[in-house]
A and B are shown apart, each in its own frame.
Chain A
Amino acid sequence: MKFLEKFENLLQTEYIFHLHTNYTDGSSSIEEYCKWALENEFETIIFLEHVRRDLSYSFENFLNDIETAREKYPINILIGVEAKILLEGELDIPKEILPYIQVIGIAEHFFPKDLDLYRSSCFKVFSDRQWGNYIRVWVHPGNFLKKYNINNTEILDELISYALSCGIFIESNLKHKLPPINVCKKIPLNKLVKGIDAHSVNDLIQQYEYIKTPSLSIIIPTYNEEKNI
């Protein structure tokens, strides 16, 4: 499991995690992000582009653009995707792209209001060994609970505990302010990924101070402030 250790080490450097591009609902291109990251001396940039089983864009073109950016900008670029949890614990991800990605962002978009189903689906996705060879990050954890105004941090805490035991990293998502502070505080810093959830370079400029801070220890206090992208 050296790749997980490597990712843990990466989290101690200057990185930008969770970027959406103009291939989906973002407005900046891969090149624009990479150029900005290099100019601002970041070591790593991790794209987390939306995917679903029936892709609405050419993943091949997306990969080609990343390859071009790698040639042009001497910066570590990781290819990640954000896939939603489906009912009964599947991930909405096309199998054909799996050989090309390193990071899977597990998300809870569009889930029906069924707490038991949500809980069991999360458990199933987290323990599913087919995703075990990827860096897995649970992004904006608790989005489901927030969306349906379910104030149950116990369930979220239980799910995070389970996810961590399965080797999954947890995102502290600046945009959605998730997970809630009291839950976030219980997550070990070496498993916490600060996520910008940026849709444009402008989002990065606005959050420059936050993403530039090398120490993970400032995640929680910063995230507690009312900063919106």
Chain B
Amino acid sequence: MGFLKQINILITGAGAPGIAGTIYALKNNPDNVNFRVISTDINDDVVGKFLSDGFYKIPPPESNDYIQVLEDIALKENIKVILPQTTREIIKLSESKDRFSNQGIAVVVSSFESIRVANDKYLLLEKAREIGVPYPAYFLANSIPSLLDAIKILGYPQKKVVVKPRISSGMRGLRVITNESWNLKKFLSEKPEGIEINLDQLLDILKNNEFELLVTEYLPGIEYTIDVFRGKSGVIAIPRIREKIRSGITFDAKVVLNSDLINYAMELAKALDLKYCFGFQFKSSEEGISKLIEANPRVQGTMVVSLFAGFNIIYYSILEALGYEIDLSRVKLKDNIKFKRYWGGIAIDNEILGKI
């Protein structure tokens, strides 16, 4: 990309946990392309503001003027590409791709239909079933009796059962129903997992309310995320183990080029027709079978790891969206790369005093 000197990019979700990694991946690209980063967020005081060359507070994506505001910023800043980072924004932006395209602005987002299915946890599992990718046993419950029926089939109370909203992002609404009680040993040795709930508590929350929950088999094993790039010239899938997770964010990761997971990701990507950068999460069952639990049809929080594994998924997704042909024939991925997060921070007093 010798002829490409600078790309003006607008990154949404400057407060998203992955913002530092996303910007790092762009700034550390193999072609020495300079990125001028403008970021946005619905909150003003977010960390990405201080990592970008410019920042705008914007209305939430559900607001009627969200797209207009974003378009105004993009035109003012001479933006060539928009990289959305949050689940709430991608569906809106996918609907407005043509509008931005007409202004010469690419949006790194798949089609509306692809995102609609990928974001709907029920439709996603239906898709997995259709194409033969392993998935946990699942039921859709919209009443207390149907919920009780589902958890009974899934082995409760002998086994834990997972409930989550059909559509949600991160760990919002995710709960593990368990009847395991706390004893002194557990109380003293374990951190409380905020996602556990007992059945009575859950029923108390749900009673007299309308709800639609996906009820699934509990998967106790290893959790994997697969970072995926899909462009005109092919697919690259890089699985990694989520060795340590805190509040839904990967803290310790290890790349494992497991061929099953790579194949599943490729099949899912094709079936869902997802494009650019996105990811899938799998978790192992008691029997050791990795089963699909989530799709993230957008840049993932720890996707920067792919850069170290041999393919900078975020950077190449930007190039793909801008219409460049990406040569995948020489990609050599590295196995067993480890990634460790640590607590960092920025000290501010009108200006940045220091970064840790």
Contact of A165 among B130, B155, B217, B288 (CB under 8 A): B217
Q: Judge whether B351 is part of the interface by a CB distance below 8 angstroms.
A: no
- Residues of A contacting B172 in the complex (Cβ-Cβ under 8 angstroms): none
- Residues of B contacting A166 in the complex (Cβ-Cβ under 8 angstroms): 137
- Residues of A contacting B153 in the complex (Cβ-Cβ under 8 angstroms): 120, 123, 162
Q: Judge whether B289 is part of the interface by a CB distance below 8 angstroms.
A: yes
Q: Judge whether A186 is part of the interface by a CB distance below 8 angstroms.
A: yes
* Bound complex: CA A167 to CA B137 (Å): 10
* Bound complex: CA A189 to CA B267 (Å): 14
Q: Judge whether A79 is part of the interface by a CB distance below 8 angstroms.
A: no
Q: Judge whether B286 is part of the interface by a CB distance below 8 angstroms.
A: yes
Q: Judge whether B244 is part of the interface by a CB distance below 8 angstroms.
A: no
| B interface footprint on A156-174 (CB within 8 Å = 1, 0 otherwise) | 0010011011110000000
* Bound complex: CA A127 to CA B137 (Å): 9
| B interface footprint on A106-141 (CB within 8 Å = 1, 0 otherwise) | 000000000000001001000101001000000000
- Known A-B contacts A120-B153, A132-B287, A167-B289; the reply to A186 vs B137 at CB < 8 A is no
Q: Taking CB as reference atom, which chain B residue is nearest A119?
A: B153
Q: Judge whether A175 is part of the interface by a CB distance below 8 angstroms.
A: no
Q: Judge whether B264 is part of the interface by a CB distance below 8 angstroms.
A: no
Q: Are B217 and A186 in contact (CB under 8 A)?
A: no
Within 8 A of A (CB), among B261-311: 286-289, 291
* Bound complex: CA A120 to CA B289 (Å): 24
Contact of B132 among A158, A162, A188 (CB under 8 A): A188
- Residues of B contacting A162 in the complex (Cβ-Cβ under 8 angstroms): 137, 153
Q: Taking CB as reference atom, which chain A residue is nearest B291?
A: A165
Within 8 A of A (CB), among B128-142: 129-132, 134-139
| A interface footprint on B113-136 (CB within 8 Å = 1, 0 otherwise) | 000000000000000011110111
Q: Are B286 and A129 in contact (CB under 8 A)?
A: yes
* Bound complex: CA A191 to CA B135 (Å): 13
- Known A-B contacts A120-B153, A127-B137, A166-B137; the reply to A188 vs B287 at CB < 8 A is no
* Bound complex: CA A1 to CA B289 (Å): 7
> Interface SS of chain B: helix, strand, loop or mixed?
loop
Interface size on A, residues (CB 8 A): 18
Q: Judge whether A190 is part of the interface by a CB distance below 8 angstroms.
A: yes
* Bound complex: CA A141 to CA B288 (Å): 27
**In angstroms, how far is the closest chain A Cβ from the Cβ of B285?**
9
Q: Are B286 and A165 in contact (CB under 8 A)?
A: no
Q: Taking CB as reference atom, which chain A residue is nearest B140?
A: A158
* Bound complex: CA A186 to CA B130 (Å): 6
- Known A-B contacts A127-B137, A165-B135, A166-B137; the reply to A1 vs B288 at CB < 8 A is yes
Q: Are A1 and B137 in contact (CB under 8 A)?
A: no
* Bound complex: CA A120 to CA B132 (Å): 24
- Residues of A contacting B155 in the complex (Cβ-Cβ under 8 angstroms): 127
* Bound complex: CA A188 to CA B134 (Å): 11
Q: Are A161 and B286 in contact (CB under 8 A)?
A: no
Q: Taking CB as reference atom, which chain B residue is nearest A5?
A: B260
* Bound complex: CA A27 to CA B279 (Å): 54
Q: Are A188 and B137 in contact (CB under 8 A)?
A: no
Q: Are A188 and B129 in contact (CB under 8 A)?
A: yes
Q: Taking CB as reference atom, which chain B residue is nearest A161?
A: B129
Q: Taking CB as reference atom, which chain A residue is nearest B267?
A: A188
Q: Are B287 and A1 in contact (CB under 8 A)?
A: yes
Q: Are A188 and B130 in contact (CB under 8 A)?
A: yes
**In angstroms, how far is the closest chain A Cβ from the Cβ of B28?**
38
Q: Taking CB as reference atom, which chain A residue is nearest B153?
A: A123
* Bound complex: CA A162 to CA B155 (Å): 13
Q: Taking CB as reference atom, which chain A residue is nearest B137?
A: A165
- Residues of B contacting A164 in the complex (Cβ-Cβ under 8 angstroms): 129, 135
**In angstroms, how far is the closest chain B Cβ from the Cβ of A91?**
18
Within 8 A of A (CB), among B65-95: none
* Bound complex: CA A183 to CA B326 (Å): 41
Q: Taking CB as reference atom, which chain A residue is nearest B132?
A: A188
- Residues of A contacting B291 in the complex (Cβ-Cβ under 8 angstroms): 165
* Bound complex: CA A162 to CA B130 (Å): 13
- Residues of A contacting B217 in the complex (Cβ-Cβ under 8 angstroms): 165
* Bound complex: CA A108 to CA B273 (Å): 39
Q: Taking CB as reference atom, which chain B residue is nearest A185?
A: B130
- Residues of B contacting A158 in the complex (Cβ-Cβ under 8 angstroms): 139
* Bound complex: CA A1 to CA B286 (Å): 12
- Residues of A contacting B130 in the complex (Cβ-Cβ under 8 angstroms): 186, 188
* Bound complex: CA A120 to CA B153 (Å): 7
* Bound complex: CA A68 to CA B286 (Å): 39
Of A127, A158, A165, A191, most B-chain CB atoms within 10 Å: A165
Given contacts A164-B129, A165-B291, A167-B289, 12 further A-B contacts (CB under 8 A): A1-B288, A120-B153, A123-B153, A129-B286, A158-B139, A162-B153, A164-B135, A165-B135, A165-B137, A165-B138, A186-B129, A189-B132
11 A–B contacts from the bound complex (CB under 8 Å): A1-B287, A1-B289, A127-B137, A129-B287, A158-B139, A165-B136, A165-B217, A167-B134, A167-B287, A188-B132, A189-B132
